[in-house]
Structure 1
């Protein structure tokens, strides 16, 4: 196998898409296959996936990694951004490259940084900052520019920017139109929902503004289920359920709320758990002293429960899988294929009954041990 770059005393360095060979303060660029990319000789070279920034004497030029030049202009400085962009300076003015092949002027820009949105195929925005610390933004995709006027700005979606002015937060779109005035103490974005904070109270809205809940709750609102039509809210440290229209679906009397079924919630008051049908406003199962999650997935929730001083298994899709008849109960299988081992102690006979129960609640095997043998088995 012959070498790509012949043996030489020169310094060889790997670059995106090729190699540089430096000898006596002169640099040449080669392709990955070892072919000379350009006849020119440079004094400095930097590269990303699409471009090389190359310097001759006191000026910089842009050479594409396919060997063609980006125009004939020279620049005072070149900054490569990410894999596909660059920013150039000419006579103290900054301009950014856009995928359309044009240079877009960045007015007042003293500093720049790049923001990518991975959820949108790594679309790019350039955050620019002027000498007074004010920030603006350039959309690399379409060249839309918001001049520096904000204390801070951040892209949440291609047409949704979070802004900060005098310590308060708001929202604007890509054209600078105000969607939410900068009057909030905090804004948080997740999966199309925007949590709002004002005067110590929390609210919620979605990006489409199909619902807006004013800041009036003492904790962040959370989705109860995947539909987003039912929310968990808090007032004075107690939790309740509300609809997306902000109408209450339960009283605010619970210490904790977890999803169980679309109309039935798993709720805790003090140390006791209940299944509460919030549409019919009633409890539908016995009080539960203790719960332990065996499985928690969108398909099924399985709990080990303790009530009436006995353990059992409860499923949100199958109901009571294993009745609460066991003094101890453990899953010796897996989350996907549970196998329950239930224990009963018969005091009069001083024996232990051990039951093996499948995930459908059907006993598969029973064993009897006297107390001494069972204790030795547990220790082993």
Structure 2
């Protein structure tokens, strides 16, 4: 069995199978559809329906599903005859498909809809919080955003309303802070519902690594947890920090800055991905290629799309066809 080995979906003669990072077929193409593996199972198409396989290509359940949705914490949301349920890591239906809608699991609980009301179940399928909300979102840092009476508030895992519904728009908690809208502007509250950073921004993102991007006067900058603007608002777009760097844009050009606001990758590319195994996918003149850490092209920009390297392999699109390349830019798979 190929447990622990990364496999890649490919299409051959109209059917999907899987290759390894040498380009060798390890699961014969015989499916109508195939997705990448999450842990040790993958979604595949069987006729007009969906199922799950392991890394040996074994179909894990005789039951087929009408649709497959998000996978979180070892459970995947599936559709059976218009109702939602959950498949576990064995590929079998572990929580019966009886819900009108369902979200993925977070912190051991999942929001599900029965009729017009939302509540939360645990991984046995039992209700921990009975359906009672007009809207319900995933738990984060022990709290979940819910809609009650036309406003948004926050509950704990026992269903206690710890921050009363009072917001027209709000985000989940990240690093102890949540963005909320007050009088058409956004600020941040703590887990007690106290407004820590005044609502004075037109757009905001979640806190990540101690900083959050905010929009002020039509430009994005970054504030710290005290609400201090530590990176000036001069960008036309900004993402969240990850591993000490963040993607930003000026006009239609993208690059990376660090937490001091220094450009670590110049803001000059048409688009940009993330570093993977020492190489960075960048777009120049509507084509993607790869630069090294010295920002020199090691794989010329010839691709329509490109993803970061993982296990020595990257998925690219060339001439509207999916390919896989190695770090020398050589195709390990290009037959469809």
Given the two structures, how large is their TM-score scaled by the length of structure 1?
0.43
Given the two structures, how large is their TM-score scaled by the length of structure 2?
0.47
Q: Which has the larger radius of gyration?
A: 1
- Report 1 or 2 for greater relative contact order, CA contacts < 8 Å, sequence distance ≥ 6: 2
